[in-house]
Amino acid sequence: MKSFIQGIPKCELHLHIEGSLEPELMFEIADRNEISLPFPNVEAVRAAYQFSNLQDFLDIYYAGANVLLHEQDFYDLTWEYLTRVYRQNVRHVEIFFDPQTHTERGVAFETVISGIREALRDAREQLHMTYKIIPNFLRHLSAESAMQTFEQALPFGKWITAFGLDSSEVGHPPSKFKSVFDRVRAEGFLTVAHAGEEGPPAYVWEALNVLKASRIDHGVLSMEDAELVAYLKKHKIALTVCPLSNVKLRVFDKMESHNLKQLLHAGLRATINSDDPAYFGGYMNENFLAVQEALDLEKEQIVTLVKNSFEASFLSDADTNCYLAELEAYVAGMDQSTTAPVNIMD
Ligand code: ADE
Ligand code: ZN
């Protein structure tokens, strides 16, 4: 099972690039940017990664992102993530970033997206990986700030597929951002939103009905509302579930209590993702392995989870079908194709 999971071609739909900043790289970048960190060494940073809820984590995650100043920093961050997950057979990634975490510190939107995109382009050339880019608005900030961020993003619109919503959930319902997301869709972008991570099913309904989200990020608390579960099933709305994150942030007290199996049994389009791998103890393979072991998932369920991801991706139907064929060949034990479909977004 372990080697089956390691080798299966995968797709990641929920990854905050700032959450892939490993302490080693944090120190390297802090050194060259002459920024002093509130930790003496890498071990002390890792030791600080004990969280009792989402906010606990966000405070340390935003502090870590302060070392990122230059295009090269965003390039290095993204390239390190991509080369890691390439070794885990991740073939397609849809990357989130938080523009306001950087623009609020005086770093230009262009600096951030250019560094991230350059690394993604290199990964496509050199590693045959494909990608989509999804900036997220910080929901603890105002709707006006989100709108300003959208204006800053528009000149780079051809590089962007969708916009999302993240950060502190409770107290910041999706409806707070209705006008921004109306504008986002009017300009031709897709939408996604974090909802039902710590917040109630009502927030998932709002993400769907008000923001018109194509996918729900996390969404695990949707199970509390039978009508919502029926809706998600009927409309094949994917949930980008992040098992290690959910345990680290105490949404579930241990992996054995995670509701992934219930989501699958309810017929929901659940997918597996890493969220913030440098903070939560693992990338894609570690997430799959942890959940498989704790919930005793069958091989078939692993395949379903991976298939769900490719099907819920924002790839074209033709590109999705290429990956599904590659997946099918892998499962059938045939040689894997090494050719990737071209990414049409840029
Ligand atoms: N930003 C980074 N990770 C997040 C998460 N799990 N929930 C909300 N916002 C986030
Ligand atoms: Zn997230």
Residue-wise pLDDT for 161-201, tens only, equals: 999 999 999 999 999 999 999 999 999 999 999 999 999 99
Residue 68 has pLDDT above 50, yes or no: yes
* Gap from CA of 264 to ligand 2 centroid (Å): 20
| Domain 2-329 superfamily per CATH | Metal-dependent hydrolases (3.20.20.140)
**Residues 126-134, mean pLDDT to the nearest whole number:** 98
Whole-number percent of the chain with pLDDT over 90? 94
Which residues form ligand 1's pocket by a CB distance below 6 Å? 16, 19, 54, 166-167, 194, 197, 245, 275-276
Residue 344 has pLDDT above 90, yes or no: no
CA pair distance 313, 254, nearest whole angstrom: 28
Residue 71 has pLDDT above 50, yes or no: yes
Residue 339 has pLDDT above 90, yes or no: no
Whole-number percent of the chain with pLDDT over 70? 96
Which residue's alpha carbon is nearest to atom 1 within ligand 1?
A: 167
Take residue 297 and report the two structure tokens written for it. Answer: 């998932």
pTM of this prediction exceeds 0.85: yes
**Residues 98-105, mean pLDDT to the nearest whole number:** 97
Residue tagged active-site, from 197, 198, 311, 326: 197
Can 94 be counted among the known catalytic residues? no
Rg (CA), the chain: 19
* pLDDT for 336: 47
> Residue 313: which pLDDT band, with cuts at 50, 70 and 90?
very high
Residue-wise pLDDT for 250-275, tens only, equals: 999 999 999 999 999 999 999 999 99
* pLDDT for 334: 53
* pLDDT for 345: 42
Residue 278 has pLDDT above 60, yes or no: yes
Q: Name the phi and psi angles at 307, rounded to 5.
A: -60, -45
Q: Name the phi and psi angles at 35, rounded to 5.
A: -110, 135
Ligand that comes closest to the CA of residue 97:
1
CA pair distance 53, 55, nearest whole angstrom: 6
Residue 340 has pLDDT above 60, yes or no: no
> Among residues 218, 219, 280, which one has the least CA distance to residue 244?
280
What is the position in ligand 1's atom list of the atom closest to the CA of 98?
Answer: 1
**Over the chain, what is the mean pLDDT?**
95
Residue 95 has pLDDT above 90, yes or no: yes
* Gap from CA of 257 to ligand 2 centroid (Å): 20
Ligand that comes closest to the CA of residue 275:
2
CA pair distance 254, 260, nearest whole angstrom: 12
Mutational test site, ligand 1, from 14, 17, 57, 192, max ligand atoms within 8 Å of CB: 57
Which residue's alpha carbon is nearest to atom 8 within ligand 1?
A: 167
